[in-house]
Structure 1
Amino acid sequence: MSIYLRPDVVITGTLIWYSKVCPREVWYMARHVTPFEGHSKLEKGRAIHQIYGDELPISLDGMKIDAFRKEDRTVVEIKSSSRHVESAMAQTNYYLYRLKEVGLECEGEVYVPKKDERIRVTLDEEKVKKDMEEVRRIVESGSPPPRVRIKFCRRCAYKDLCWG
């Protein structure tokens, strides 16, 4: 399954992650509509990645892995909280799928430093393909999905775009 939706749009781990939180954000991101870069949630995430991530993460088109443990070949996705564990697991699963495509079979882990919580992720190819198809469906739509108020809207970097 191709990760390329258009010449300027690639299915990314971030799009997979957001497809589990808010499809509307996927649609905006695929059109390069970016949230306010100084938003506190984004800054917090960047700070956590600087502390716990690798200096030279592994990357391919559409993905940049936060950390990689060579000793047990584990891709580590670092998150600031456990609120979006399902999303983080889907993102990590996507990374495992993409790495397998280039010949690297790995295990995955979602790490939440605040709770010292580690959640194992094992590749599920069927789930990744469904997630990629969902992102493709959202991105190929001519208009953003309808606004749906969810518990995450209050702190969302796109809040003003949807609800302002």
Structure 2
Amino acid sequence: MRISGTHVYYYFVCKRKLWCFSKAIRMEHLDENVQLGKLLDESSYNRDSGQVMIDETVNIDFIRDWKVLHEVKKSRAIEEAGIWQLKYYIYFLREKGIAIENSIIDYPKLRRREEVTLTESDVARLKEVMADIEKITTQQKPPKLEEKRICKKCAYFEYCFV
């Protein structure tokens, strides 16, 4: 299975959302928050090269000189997921022989940046996460619903609660 950055991101956001995504149950195109995020992503940092798709697996918002990764996020509401998504990108690229020196999450609306690094313990955790993603995505039924604060703004809200 090819694990994308979206898989990793959804793993930390919601296991049920991850399962839906893996089964091609896509609700994002209907969600206003997702559309706003895409618009922000497209309009921010337009002076830099746009999104870079690698091996039809990871889609990096932009990369400078093949050394510094940037991921653009609308808010810090689910910051942990964005951090692990970026750590996964570093890991993925290093596995391909690309020596990433630095990575940054950009929050243009907040005018903030967070530097993200990848440690050996992060690599071990990522391997556990990737194994768990494989397990979740091969299940016949979605994981049990875990109600969270972010559910009300989620693109999958109707799928889970209606």
Residue equivalent to 2:37 = 45
Q: Deviation of residue 36 (structure 1)?
A: 4.8
2:136 counterpart residue number: 138
2:105 corresponds in structure 1 to 110
Match of 1:7 in 2: none
Does the C-alpha gap of structure 1 residues 36 and 138 become closer, same or farther in structure 2, counting only changes over 3 Å? same
Matched-pair contact (CA < 8 Å) for 2:52–2:63: yes
The runs of 5 or more residues in structure 2 that have no matched partner are none
Measure, in 1, the Cα distance between the counterparts of 2:91 and 2:137. 21
Shift of 1:38: 3.0
Give the Cα separation in 2 of the matches to 1:18 and 1:27: 9
8 A contact 2:106–2:113 mirrored in 1: yes
**Which residue, out of 72, 84, 92, partners 1:78?**
72
Q: How many residues align?
A: 155
Q: What TM-score does the superposition give when structure 2 sets the normalisation length?
A: 0.89
Aligned to 2:5: 13
Code of the aligned partner of 2:30: G
Please provide the CA RMSD for this pair: 1.5
**Secondary structure at the counterpart of residue 106 of structure 2:** strand
Q: CA deviation at 1:55?
A: 4.4
Structure 1 stretches lacking a partner, 5+ long:
5-9
The residue aligned with 1:93 is 87
Which one-letter code corresponds to 2:143 in the other structure? P
Q: TM-score, normalised on structure 1?
A: 0.88
Aligned sequence identity (%): 26
